[in-house]
Structure 1
Amino acid sequence: MHSIHRFIHDLTPDQLPRNVIEQAERCLLDLTGVAVAGHRTRLSRILETFVTDQYPGDIPMLFSDRRASLCGSALFGAMLIDSLDAHDGQVLTKGHVGVAILPALLAAAHARSLNGQALLTSLVIGYEIATRAGIALHRTASDYHTSGAWNGIGVAAMLARLYQLSDEQTEEALGTAEFYGPRSQMMRCIDHPTMVKDGSGWGALAGVSAVLLARAGFTGAPAVTLNSESVSDIWQDLGQRWYILEQYFKAYPVCRWAQPAVEAVRSMRQTPGFSPEQVESIHVYSFHEATRLHKVLPATTEEAQYSLPFSVASALIDDAVLPEAVAETPEGLGHPLRRHLSQRVQMHETDHYNSRFPAERWAHARVVMKNGQEWISEPSIALGNPENPLSTDELIEKYRVLTDGLLEDKTRQQIQSLCMGAWELDSAQVQTLIEWLASPVRT
Structure 2
Amino acid sequence: MTLTFSHFAANLTCDDLPAPVLQVLRRSFLDTMGVAAVASTTSMASIARNGARALFGPGTAGGSRILMNGAMVSPAGAAMAGAFTIDSIDAHDGTSPCKGHAGSAVFPALLALADASKDMDGHEFATLLAIAYEVSYRSGLAQHATCADYHTSGAWTAVGVATACARALGCTQEQIRHAAGIGEYHGPRSQMMRCIDHPTMLRDGVGWGAPAGVTAAYLAQQGFTGAPALTCEDAQEFWHDLGDTWRLVEDTHYKPYPCCRWAHPAMDAAQDLMREHALHHSQIKSVEIRTFHNATRLAGHRPMTPDEFAYSIAFPVATMIVRGEVGVPELAEETLKDTDILRISCATELIDDEHFTKISDGKRWAQVSFRLGDGRHMTSTPRTPRGDTDLPLSETEISEKFRLFADPVLGSARAREIENLCAEFEGLNKDGLNHLLDLCLSAPHPS
**Superposed pair shares fold, TM > 0.5:** yes
Q: Does 1:338 align with 2:341?
A: yes
Contact 1:179 / 1:221 at 8 angstroms: preserved in 2? no
Tell me which residue corresponds to 2:378: 375
1:316 corresponds in structure 2 to: 321
C-alpha distance after superposition, 1:279-329 (max 9, x if no partner): 11000011001101112111100000111011101111222211321332x
2:135–2:160 Cα contact (<8 Å) kept: yes
The question of 1:86 aligning with 2:87 is answered: no
Per-residue Cα deviation, 1:43-76 (whole angstroms, up to 9, x for no partner): 1111111111111223111110312110000011
Give 1:439 deviation, angstroms.
Answer: 2.9
**Alignment-mate amino acid for residue 11 of structure 1:** L
1:101-149 per-position Cα deviation (integer Å, ceiling 9, x unaligned): 1111110011332221211111011110000000000111101100111
SS of equivalent to 1:183: coil
Aligned partners of 2:6 and 2:174 also within 8 Å: no
Q: Which amino acid aligns with 2:17?
A: L
CA distance in 2, matches of 1:416, 1:106: 16
| Aligned-partner Cα distance in 2 for 1:48–1:304 | 23
Letter in 2 for 1:254: C
- RMSD after superposition: 1.4
Question: Normalising to structure 1: TM-score of the pair?
Answer: 0.97
Shift of 1:221: 4.9
Paired residue for 1:399, among 396, 399, 402? 402
Give CA-to-partner distance per residue, 1:183-209, whole Å, 9 cap, x none: 111101000000000100100011001
Check whether the contact 2:57–2:72 (CA below 8 A) recurs between aligned residues. yes
Post-superposition offset of 1:383: 0.8
Structure 1's consecutive aligned runs of 4 or more residues displaced over 3 angstroms after TM superposition are none
The equivalent residue for 1:95 is 100
Deviations 1:248-275 (A, max 9, x none): 0001011010100001100011034411
Report if the CA contact (8 A) 2:166-2:220 is conserved. no
CA distance in 2, matches of 1:38, 1:91: 22
Within a 5 Å distance, the mapping from 1:197-346 to structure 2 comes to 197-228=203-234, 231-245=235-249, 246-328=251-333, 330=334, 332-346=335-349
User: What's the counterpart of residue 59 of structure 1?
Assistant: 64
Q: 2:369 aligns to what SS in structure 1?
A: strand
Q: TM-score scaled by structure 2?
A: 0.96
CA offsets 1:356-377 (integer angstroms, 9 cap, x no match): 1231211111101111111211
Which residue of 102, 111, 114 maps to 1:109? 114
1:345-398 CA-to-partner distances (Å, cap 9, x unmatched) read 101011211111231211111101111111211112111000000011110000
Provide the rounded CA distance (Å) in 1 between the counterparts of 2:392 and 2:373. 35
**2:12 — aligned with what?**
11
| Secondary structure class of the residue paired with 1:290 | helix
- Aligned residue for 1:36, secondary structure, equals helix
Contact 2:163-2:177 within 8 A present in 1 as well:
no
Aligned with 2:303: secondary structure? coil
Deviation sequence 1:6-43 (CA, Å, 0-9, x none): 11011111111111111110110001111111123211
Q: Which residue of 2 aligns with 1:31?
A: 32
Q: Supply the distance in 1 between the matched residues of 2:367 and 2:3 (Cα, whole angstroms).
A: 46
User: Is the Cα–Cα contact under 8 Å of residues 226 and 232 in structure 1 kept in the other structure?
Assistant: yes
State the 1:419 CA deviation. Answer: 0.6
Q: Provide, for residues 166-191 of structure 1, a one-character-per-residue CA deviation record: whole Å limited to 9, x for no partner.
A: 12221211111000111111101000
Q: How does 1:123-142 map to 2 (within 5 A)?
A: 123-142=129-148
Corresponding residue number in structure 1 for 2:178: 172
Deviation at 1:241, TM superposition (A): 0.9
Q: Are 2:10 and 2:172, in contact at CA under 8 Å, matched by a contact in 1?
A: no
Partner of 1:362: 365
**Distance in 2 of aligned mates of 1:356 and 1:282:** 23
Whole-Å separation in 2 of the counterparts to 1:423 and 1:114: 11
Note if contact 2:67-2:82 (Cα within 8 Å) is conserved in structure 1: yes
CA distance in 2, matches of 1:360, 1:416: 30
Number of aligned residue pairs: give it: 439
Counterpart of 1:189 in structure 2 is 195
Structure 2 Cα separation of the partners of residues 5 and 79 of structure 1: 28
**Kept after mapping to 2: 8 A contact 1:149/1:178:** yes
Please report how far the alpha carbon of residue 2 of structure 1 lies from its aligned counterpart in structure 2 after TM superposition: 6.6
Alpha-carbon spacing, 1:2–1:389, altered in 2? closer, same or farther (3 Å)? closer
**In 2, Cα distance between equivalents of 1:346 and 1:390:** 29
In 1, the alpha carbon distance for the partners of 2:257 and 2:322 equals 14
Amino acid at match of 2:183: A
Q: Specify the SS of the correspondent of 1:104.
A: helix
